[in-house]
Structure 1
Amino acid sequence: MSESIRVFASATVANVACGFDILGFAVNAPGDEVILKKKNTPGVTISQITGDGGRLSLNSQENTVGVAVLQYLNKIGSDQGIDITLHKKMPFGSGLGSSAASAVAGAFAINELLGGSLSTEELLPFAIEGERIACGSAHADNVAPSLFGGFVLIRSYQPLDVVRINTPPELYCAIIHPQIEVPTKEARNILKKNIRMEDAITQWGNVAGLIAGLMQSDYALIGRSLQDVIVEPVRSILIPGFEKVKQASLQTGALGCGISGSGPSIFSLCRGQETAVQVGKAKQQIFEQLGIGCEVYTSQINQQGPVILE
């Protein structure tokens, strides 16, 4: 059995317009990388974190990856000592599930390193606990797609019920991350506590339509359903140029466009890679005109989940 392991876990798009807190999907990049090494003394330590600008705690009980590993070891009753190196390869406060990717990489890596005794489904609670440390709440809409790959529906939290949704082979995503930060807690605090029945009905129809469109490979239905009448109108005010970016995205051929997670990243679902690339360029041009730096990521829906790196 190996003494160390290196694992990559990918970023995710959560909410997916109409699916606030219940929908998410994985992309190929960016993501986080962890290296776990066995050590001779008990306990979990984090010896190094790169790419965080010194913002993350090296205390394993205060870090998403450390918590996921600790939870796993506690569950299987192991006192195996573990040292962790975390390479953050995605931006903070981006709306792309940065903390979730770290937690998923940790949970997946420790299971593989110690023989893979638990199934992928059984690893989900450990990754969720890691996410709780970062966000203060145990949401699974980033964690589940990063762990399982693909497009995921969180049907219920009590009890936890996660469903993978098939997606059309030509479905691509173009994400733009403007270099501004929208703290998740702030983005959640500005949401309305009560919504109109009329808006709720519209949103339910869009969620159902999006799921049906994905499963039937009906791209037009996917596009019609990517509408958020509850969260986006409030959160979009935190993202400079959002309406212009959305308009440019749709005019360039995107099926639909919305805020990734709590923002500021903006995702667009597209049919085909060529369209996704052009949509990414159109969105980038808007932010450049506003004087805001940005990164663009284009990929198919990542069906693989975490991967072991050589």
Structure 2
Amino acid sequence: MNEIKLDKKVNFDNIKDKVRVFAPATVANMICGFDILGFAVNEPGDEVKMYRVAEPGVRIRSIAGDDGRLPLDADRNTVSACVKMLLSDLGVADTIGVEIELIKHMPIGSGLGSSSASTVAGLYAINALLGAPLTKEELMPYCVEGERLACGHGHADNVAPALMGGVTLIRGQEALDIVKLPVPGELYAGIVFPQVDVPTRDARQLIKDKVLLKDAVVQWGNIAGLIAGLFQNDYDLIGRSMQDVLIEPTRAILIPEFYEMKRIALECGALSFGISGSGPSVVAISRGADIARVATAKIKEHLSSKEIDSYQYVSAVNVEGPRLLDFDA
């Protein structure tokens, strides 16, 4: 775990009785930036309701929307496990009691950062319940640890944008170094989640340990071009740069109709098209919402003709990250 020494004290006068938090889905890798780039979207996302209770400890009251796939055991669920870790590091694990309701609004195994959204929502919620003693930067290592618990690999390309909002660059993994990048105002994502199963671990195992230097040079140029395009508000440069010559050729094999979906998106005017995270979700990056809507609609129509069900989401980049919601008791 990337350690942050917590010297914060919880002010018990600031503790709330209950909070409700939404945390967004994310598009990891941003096509060309494997494990180092990602951005948040407005929908879908996950929700956590958290209640302060008299008995110390962390418990899960209920989980909705997961089809019974997630553990209710507080030591095995990433949301509650990370909350427990944070309370312990703050020195209040023996005095604070919380109960959690997790509401999954996004599909598990979608390539949209499902576990990240839940973990971020839970950590943002406990921080808010305690009166916000920690900054987002101080919460980040706990979010990364949640990813480690969820999938065995503590990377930040989903949790960083989910927590910080916007587009994020993970410059350093060991000594966690996260940089927020500019977000052009007309940048939209048209996301399609085909109803096929691509487990994250399986997708990672397909990735080669070694790459050709000439391919690495192309990828470095694309990443640099994408970041320059974000700073310059240059949509053409963004589109030219969001090309993946390292990971996509292998992972696309696991996603039915990938190249036909890509052809459709680009013909509709998308700047670029690629895999969200480890898939199977795919994303059409567009200038404006209209192109994203048309592209996702046509891709859905094509998948339906192949008897593949799918979900679609169209969203601008979410620059806020998690947010507190009104509590509907």
Q: TM-score, normalised by structure 1?
A: 0.99
Choose which of 5, 24, 34 in structure 1 pairs with 2:38: 24
Q: How does 1:38-53 map to 2 (within 5 A)?
A: 38-53=52-67
Give 1:185's match in structure 2, choosing from 174, 177, 201: 201
- Contact 2:169-2:178 within 8 A present in 1 as well: yes
**1:206-259: CA deviation from partner (whole Å, max 9, x where unpaired):** 000011111111001001001100100000000000000001000000000000
Moved more, 70-79 or 186-195: 70-79
* Pairing of 1:155-304 with structure 2 (within 5 A): 155-304=171-320
Q: CA deviation at 1:274?
A: 1.1
Q: Does 1:306 align with 2:322?
A: yes
Q: Distance in 2 between matches of 1:305 and 1:75?
A: 24
Alignment match, 2:89: 75
1:127 alignment partner, one of 136, 140, 143: 143
Q: In structure 1, what is the equivalent of residue 163 of structure 2?
A: 147
Distance between the aligned counterparts of 1:167 and 1:300, measured in 2? Answer: 10
| 1:270 partner letter | S
Paired amino acid for 1:145: P
Determine what percentage of the aligned residue pairs are the same residue: 52
Match of 1:62 in 2: 76
Q: Structure 1 residue 142: deviation in Å?
A: 0.2
Paired residues of 2:39 and 2:166 also in contact (CA < 8 A): yes
CA distance in 2, matches of 1:279, 1:253: 8
For 1:110, the equivalent position in structure 2 comes to 126
Task: Report if the CA contact (8 A) 2:16-2:131 is conserved.
Answer: no
> Aligned with 1:130: secondary structure?
helix
SS at match of 2:207: coil
* Counterparts of 1:176 and 1:284, CA distance in 2: 7
For residue 286 of structure 1, report the CA deviation from its aligned partner.
Answer: 1.7
The number of residue pairs the alignment matches comes to 310
Secondary structure, counterpart of 2:180 in structure 1 = strand
**Normalising to structure 2: TM-score of the pair?**
0.93
What RMSD in Å do the two structures reach over aligned CA positions? 0.8
Amino acid at match of 1:2: K
1:31 deviates by 0.6
State the shift of 1:158 in Å. 2.2
Give me the whole-angstrom Cα distance separating, in 1, the residues matched to 2:174 and 2:152: 18
**TM superposition shift of 1:282:** 1.8
How far 1:71 sits from its partner (Å)? 1.7
By how many angstroms is 1:159 displaced? 0.9
Rounded to whole Å, the distance in 2 between the matches of 1:115 and 1:181 is 40
Q: Is the 8 A contact 2:48 2:118 kept in 1?
A: yes
